[in-house]
Chain A
């Protein structure tokens, strides 16, 4: 449960969300990612470290360079976080709709 919270704290930050969006389309080095932001390089590195620690990003060594790419599985987990809650309400409302349709035709 702790890790899960960390993930949500990680994506609560706008810069980190921007990094995820950037890396979503292609693997990039830390330098390439940092060049997209006005923020100081060490700050971007810190963001990358947090995203990597909570497994939203994965590192891959290619030659001398380390490339960051998105961990699709983890991202899906985040997207699915709200789904059971949504499904619960969707089920309730479907039921409500069905009951009231019957109610209408009874009148």
Chain B
């Protein structure tokens, strides 16, 4: 199976790059990052707030079936250039991973395809590796599980 999503994480560095080509026009790809109800669906988390503008902020929250909060994250948007670029911070609340800086560059490939380049910078190389190990160490992943639940209800 072809791996559409690629991760570049060099040893000992405090950043990583996630790239993905989409079978979508650039405008639709960008829209998926802007509309809260769409973000909710693919990120598998509740979007409490999403102000897609310079100096705007956002808040995510995920609850389990019993209503317990299992994940809370937030950040601020530093740059918002429609169909081009979003620069934002992200912080997982009540977690020891610090704040990460995310630079998302959206690129048109053809009329029907586009590419996302996501550069994530962590506070240190150690923190980066801890975040990378997160889904690994926990054995489960909050977003993935939530996604699976949604997929199951759609079936």
| Cross-chain contact B147 with A95 (CB below 8 angstroms) | yes
Mask: chain B, 45-81; 1 = CB below 8 Å from A; 0 = not: 0000000000000000000000000000000000000
Chain B residues with CB below 8 A from A74, complex form: none
Tally B residues with Cβ within 8 Å of A: 36
Chain B residues with CB below 8 A from A5, complex form: 129
- Counting residue pairs across A and B whose Cβ atoms lie within 8 Å, the total is 87
Mask: chain A, 8-23; 1 = CB below 8 Å from B; 0 = not: 1001100000000000
Contact of B129 (CB < 8 Å), options: A8, A92, A100:
A8
Chain B residues with CB below 8 A from A97, complex form: 22-24
Chain B residues with CB below 8 A from A91, complex form: 143-144, 147
Contact of B5 (CB < 8 Å), options: A11, A81, A86, A100:
A86
**A76 → B minimal CB distance (Å):** 14
Tally A residues with Cβ within 8 Å of B: 27
Given A12-B11, A89-B5, A92-B147: A99 in contact with B32 (beta carbons within 8 A):
yes
| Cross-chain contact B42 with A95 (CB below 8 angstroms) | yes
| Cross-chain contact A85 with B28 (CB below 8 angstroms) | no
Question: What 9 pairs across the A-B complex have the smallest Cβ distances?
Answer: A90-B5, A96-B42, A84-B135, A12-B11, A95-B42, A12-B12, A100-B28, A86-B7, A84-B136
Binding site for A on B (CB under 8 A): 3-7, 9, 11-12, 18, 20, 22-25, 28-29, 31-32, 38, 41-44, 116, 129, 131-137, 141, 143-144, 147
Q: Using A8-B11, A86-B3, A93-B116 as known contacts, list a sample of 13 further A-B pairs with CB atoms less than 8 Å apart, ordered by residue number in A.
A: A82-B132, A85-B7, A85-B134, A92-B143, A92-B147, A93-B4, A95-B41, A96-B42, A97-B24, A99-B42, A100-B22, A100-B28, A103-B31
